[in-house]
Amino acid sequence: MSKAKNKSTKQAKKQKSVQETKQRRTRTKRTKKNVDSTAQLSFGDYSQEEIAEVKKLKVLTPFAVASRLNIKISAAKKLLQTLEKNRIIQLIASGPNLKIYKLIK
- pLDDT tens-place string over residues 15-74: 888 888 777 776 555 444 443 333 344 555 777 888 888 888 888 999 999 999 999 999
Asked whether residue 5 carries a pLDDT value surpassing 60, the answer given is: no
pLDDT score of 28: 52
How many domains is the chain partitioned into structurally?
Answer: 2
Residues 16 and 57 in one domain: no
Instruction: Identify whether residues 25 and 50 lie together within a single domain.
Output: no
The mean pLDDT of 4-23, rounded to a whole number, is: 76
Query: Any residues with CB less than 8 A from the CB of 102 and at least 6 apart, and which?
Result: 60, 89, 90, 92
List the domain range (segments joined by +) for residue 14.
1-39
* Pair 31, 68 in one domain: no
Q: Minimal CA–CA distance to 83: which of 72, 94, 75?
A: 75
pLDDT tens digit string along 79-103? 899 889 988 899 999 999 899 999 9
Q: Which residues pair with 99 in a beta bridge?
A: 94
H/E stretch holding 103 = strand 99-103
Kindly indicate the confidence band of residue 4, based on its pLDDT and cuts at 50, 70 and 90: low
